[in-house]
Amino acid sequence: MSREAYYQRIAPQHMAPLWTRLKSLVPKEPTPVGVAHRWAYSELRPYVLEAAEHISAEEAERRVLILENPALVGSSQITQTLYAGLQLIMPGEVAPAHRHTQSALRFIVEGSGAYTAVDGEKTLMAPGDFVITPSWTWHHHGHDASGPMVWLDGLDIPITHFFGSTFREDHRDEEAAVTRPTGDALARYGSGLLPVGWRSGSLNSPVFNYPYARTREALHALTKAGAPDAHLGHLMRYVNPADGGWAMPTMATMIRLVPRAFATQPYRSSDSAVFVGVEGTGELRVGEQGFAITPHDIVVVPGWMAYTIHADSDLVLFSYSDRVAQEKLGFWREQRQ
């Protein structure tokens, strides 16, 4: 009796032979999902601003243009595990309050005077700030100043979808109550001090706005302390001051400086990453592809694709990836070439 006939007989029982699929289910090394791609902010910006002509922040709930990986069309994914989009809020608008199980980060691209209110505290946002919206916390956005405000949204939507753990709830009011003064979280938890007796009830950092002014100062101080890492440049991670771990439980957030005229050695890791240009100019090379980077440009590098970074001037890059989730599950791996 032939094997094929046997396979056909077991199929109605919803069974299949592992030996015909083993190498694809458990490959020798990861097969990257998606492709490396660059979004030039100068090309995106007109479309982002035009969105305000078509829909209000209130009607849209979140007026965002999704950045979708060209190889994952229709998925609303920038990588297999991550979501990204550019959000716009105009003066006088409020993006209404809601909460959801997905964790979200905001990396501010341009503008001033807009705010986000998270879990009872409001914070003003400025370019280069990294802002956390933890899972299942009430949050809304508003803009009391002038000019457009744009930021990059990063969420773990594909991860929560995979686990079937997506929940959301709309607030009964347009704005959730603000119960703590502006700057309270940073003052309490972000100065190398913690209130005596305080215990964290969250997997996220209690600091939810990491101002770029502080980050930049720390980053540039590294250049006086020694040479950059050959593969990574001067790379730092945003930290949870409560335990020294990552700032978020599912997305690893990092900031790096690659000095002028420095080129990193080839590097790859199993986490998929989204890079955002903050200051300076340079190029991120993935295989035979070269992606120019200027401020606000966005580049995605799927996991296990080797890349190098070449700085024309002092180049600062923000990035987020699924590394922290992989580390907690024991999956994460890197390779320095």
Write down the pLDDT at residue 280. 98
Q: Is residue 25 part of a domain?
A: no
- B/e letters for 111-130, b = 16+ CB within 10 Å, e = fewer, are bebbbbbbbebbbbbbbbbb
Write down the pLDDT at residue 300. 98
Q: Is residue 205 part of a domain?
A: yes
Q: From residue 179, how far is each of 40, 120, 182 by CA, in Å?
A: 39, 5, 10
pLDDT in single tens digits along all 337 residues of the chain: 699 999 999 999 999 999 999 999 999 999 999 999 999 999 999 999 999 999 999 999 999 999 999 999 999 999 999 999 999 999 999 999 999 999 999 999 999 999 999 999 999 999 999 999 999 999 999 999 999 999 999 999 999 999 999 999 999 999 999 999 999 999 999 988 889 988 888 899 999 999 999 999 999 999 998 999 999 999 999 999 999 999 999 999 999 999 999 999 999 999 999 999 999 999 999 999 999 999 999 999 999 999 999 999 999 999 999 999 999 999 999 999 9
- Give the single-character DSSP code of 229: B
Number of domains within the chain: 1
Q: Is residue 188 part of a domain?
A: yes
Write down the pLDDT at residue 1. 67
| CATH code for the domain in which residue 239 is found | 2.60.120.10
Provide CB contacts within 8 A for 9, sequence distance 6+.
Answer: none
Q: Is residue 8 part of a domain?
A: no
Q: What is the extent of the structural domain holding 179?
A: 30-336
Closest CA to 39 of 162, 150, 135: 150
Q: Is residue 143 part of a domain?
A: yes
Q: Is residue 7 part of a domain?
A: no
Q: Is residue 15 part of a domain?
A: no
Q: Is residue 124 part of a domain?
A: yes
CA atoms within 13 A on the CB side of 44: 22
Write down the pLDDT at residue 83. 98
